Homo-oligomer: A and B are copies of this chain.
């Protein structure tokens, strides 16, 4: 099922935490400073203070715009703005790249599989991207590589310093806005979001713990964390948290994730439970990938003897109709979230 990867020969220079602030200065004029939210009902039920950073209100409905935009603006700063950008993604990264390209007048080509959600295809096109669909992910990756070899700049969804720095600006905003957490929780896909979050925390909340949540069904990063070696899924894992299905971390993101305080693996039922409850309590659309972070926070809070203040990073609010159907098939709102 999983393959350990030898990373001893790979090298790169880690980002300093200040890279997150630089990224924020760069992208701030173009992004939304998303709100913090809190539910007094939830705080009462759990006996802790849970503050949410809600990236569903970011442009394109997810944090991914931050990283893609920082990547392009960084290139522009260096006088290296490409004419063409390419990436493959069936999710929020596609829309992030498409919108960043549109803002900077760069042509974007997005590769998706034909089975990708029609909503996401339509949203990507609406930002002006050239969308190419292929029967398989392998073909999408091959076509991306081909276009990159012809000169298009490939924005990797997570294995890119400037993407990582951009993703970290969400946590930076939360900490600048006054959250003083004992612990910070985020969802682990390829690790870009959590790498940036970790760096932002080192800059502004160096005493805060940082934890990852990951679907049990897609626990490559958690296994990597535990074994000290990157492990990779041979085939795409299945989880309702469709933003957390990467096959493996990159050596770059693994470098930061090794430094976290722990990983929590959460079941599909726990993900759906918290998707329902967060939608109910916060009145925002919460994609299951976002709920993974709350499910992890809940597991940690249950082990705490004194009242804790946690920052839960909600990655986005793009939910496909078929996902809504799965989320609401059973009713979990009649089971209170106690501790």
Chain B, Cβ-Cβ closest to A336: B122
Q: Is the CB of A280 within 8 A of B119?
A: yes
Complex CA gap A224/B118 in Å reads 43
Q: Tell yes or no: A256 within 8 A of B by CB.
A: no
Q: Tell yes or no: A92 within 8 A of B by CB.
A: no
Q: Is the CB of A324 within 8 A of B334?
A: no
Q: Is the CB of A317 within 8 A of B61?
A: no
What residues on B are CB-neighbors of A44 within 8 Å? 126
Annotate A298-333 by CB proximity to B: 1 below 8 A, 0 otherwise: 000000000000000000010111101101110111
- CB of A242, distance to nearest CB on chain B (Å): 16
Q: Is the CB of A119 within 8 A of B334?
A: yes
Complex CA gap A320/B336 in Å reads 15
Q: Tell yes or no: A169 within 8 A of B by CB.
A: no
Annotate A109-123 by CB proximity to B: 1 below 8 A, 0 otherwise: 000000000110010
Complex CA gap A287/B322 in Å reads 19
Q: Tell yes or no: A9 within 8 A of B by CB.
A: no
Annotate A36-58 by CB proximity to B: 1 below 8 A, 0 otherwise: 00000100100000000000110
Chain B, Cβ-Cβ closest to A324: B328
Q: Is the CB of B61 within 8 A of A283?
A: yes
Q: Tell yes or no: A130 within 8 A of B by CB.
A: no
Instruction: Contacts A283-B284, A284-B285, A285-B284 given; indicate if A119 touches B317 (C-beta within 8 A).
Output: no
Q: Tell yes or no: A279 within 8 A of B by CB.
A: yes
Chain B, Cβ-Cβ closest to A330: B321
Main secondary structure of the interface of A (DSSP, over half): helix
Complex CA gap A319/B118 in Å reads 25
Complex CA gap A334/B322 in Å reads 12
Complex CA gap A317/B325 in Å reads 18
What residues on B are CB-neighbors of A331 within 8 Å? 321-322
Q: Tell yes or no: A276 within 8 A of B by CB.
A: yes
Which of B56, B280, B319, B329 interacts with A325 by CB under 8 Å?
A: B329
Annotate A222-245 by CB proximity to B: 1 below 8 A, 0 otherwise: 000000000000000000000000
Q: Is the CB of B283 within 8 A of A56?
A: yes
Q: Is the CB of A283 within 8 A of B126?
A: no
Instruction: Scan residues 16-73 of chain A and give those whose CB is less than 8 A from a CB of chain B.
Output: 41, 44, 56-57, 61
Instruction: Scan residues 240-286 of chain A and give those whose CB is less than 8 A from a CB of chain B.
Output: 276, 279-280, 283-285
Q: Is the CB of B118 within 8 A of A334?
A: yes
What residues on B are CB-neighbors of A283 within 8 Å? 56-57, 61, 284-285, 317
- CB of A124, distance to nearest CB on chain B (Å): 12
Q: Is the CB of A333 within 8 A of B321?
A: yes
Between A and B, 8 residue pairs with Cβ closer than 8 Å are: A119-B334, A122-B334, A280-B285, A283-B285, A285-B285, A321-B332, A324-B328, A325-B328
Q: Beyond A285-B285, A322-B331, A324-B324, list 17 extra A-B contacts (CB 8 Å).
A: A41-B126, A44-B126, A56-B283, A61-B283, A119-B280, A119-B334, A279-B285, A279-B319, A283-B284, A284-B284, A321-B328, A321-B331, A321-B332, A321-B333, A324-B327, A325-B328, A328-B328
Closest 3 CB pairs of A and B: A324-B328, A321-B331, A283-B317
